Amino acid sequence: MKPYLLRRVIGLLEGSGFSVSDCNGSRSCFDVLARKGDVLILVKVLNNIEGVTRNAVHELKKASSLTGGVPLVVGERLKSSKLMDGVVYERYGVSALNLSTMGNVVHNAMPVAHSIRGNYCARINAGMLRRLRDVMDLTQEKLAQELGVSKQSVYRYENSGRVPFDIMERMLKFFEEDESLLLHEQVFDVRTPNEDSSFNMRIPSTKRLVADKLEHMGFSTLIINAPFDVVARENETVYTVVSDDNRRLEHKISLVNEITKVVGGYGLCVTRRRVECRDVAVLKPEELDSFASPDELIDRIGH
């Protein structure tokens, strides 16, 4: 089922003018990386979004932050229920959508509904609600009577800006379909993820060794579960594959080459294996010791 959904996601993005890298099969926290203009998205695809773990989302957020992209989860179900069209769900702070909703989003038709613990809600302009109520000379209690809710509910709507979807429909009808009250979900907004030190990856010794050598050179580094294993940053960003696994090495090198074409930066492979590659520089771990600065490494791998 997932391969079929993945093909549909890739087809939708390519048909909408995105440049797409299919990263499935690389044991990555994202399956698709896609760019169109200033919009870069990293998509995790799976049939049931309940299967996205907190740790996986943490890695997805981290990868999105490193590349300047937006993390998304695309699926078909939540537990035993189908994801509703036009509704944004959430998994540990990342927006989750079905394919139909994603199709609208990539054409800038942002949804107005989101799901919170199984309840469908909408966001409204709370300040505008207060102004509309004042213009019509309505107390909170009177508006509550018109909407069939309590006065405390109206108070909450005017402070939180969050309204149950059925109440939002009554509200729009009462205010003569003034849809300027609605705030659309800005799915493509780039958010800085909160740091969470509770996740400790099991890091292979070779990856740690490479990260340490790059840090000694002057880069700031981060080890991540993605098609690239170590991200090194100074003035430029180097996406580094660290592996001696011949079965996956060529595939990961190819993906890093694709990804750097989409997001910028440089690709590098650090391995003890003999690899013939034109597009990405290949070095042995001990060769990193010969570079005294990030600029020297960039000069070497940029040619």
**CATH no. for residue 85?**
3.40.1350.10
190, part of any domain: no
Q: Give the DSSP H or E segment for 13.
A: helix 2-15
Q: Which residue has the tokens 């290949």?
A: 282
Distance CA 103, CA 117 (A): 24
200, part of any domain: no
Q: Which residue has the tokens 């299967």?
A: 51
Q: Provide the pLDDT for residue 192.
A: 55
Last residue of a domain, one of 64, 84, 111: 111
* 107 and 124 belong to one structural domain: no
Distance CA 239, CA 233 (A): 9
Q: Provide the pLDDT for residue 293.
A: 96
* 89 and 40 belong to one structural domain: yes
196, part of any domain: no
* Domain that includes residue 93, residue range: 2-111
Last residue of a domain, one of 111, 134, 152: 111
2-15 helix and 99-106 helix, angle to the nearest 10 degrees: 10
Q: How is residue 6 written in tokens?
A: 């993945």
193, part of any domain: no
Q: How many domains does the chain have?
A: 3
198, part of any domain: no
* 105 and 125 belong to one structural domain: no
Last residue of a domain, one of 151, 183, 215: 183
* 26 and 96 belong to one structural domain: yes
Q: Provide the pLDDT for residue 247.
A: 78
* 162 and 81 belong to one structural domain: no
Contact in structure between 220 and 231 (CB atoms under 8 Å): no
* 87 and 156 belong to one structural domain: no
Q: Provide the pLDDT for residue 198.
A: 46
DSSP letter, residue 31: S
Distance CA 268, CA 285 (A): 11
- For the chain (length 303 residues), average pLDDT per consecutive 10? 92 96 87 94 95 92 92 94 92 94 91 85 90 92 95 93 90 81 80 52 84 96 93 95 87 93 94 88 95 96 82
Q: Provide the pLDDT for residue 197.
A: 45
pTM: 0.84
Contact in structure between 91 and 97 (CB atoms under 8 Å): no
Contact in structure between 177 and 148 (CB atoms under 8 Å): no
199, part of any domain: no
98, part of any domain: yes
192, part of any domain: no
Q: What CATH number should be reported for the domain holding residue 225?
A: 3.40.1350.70
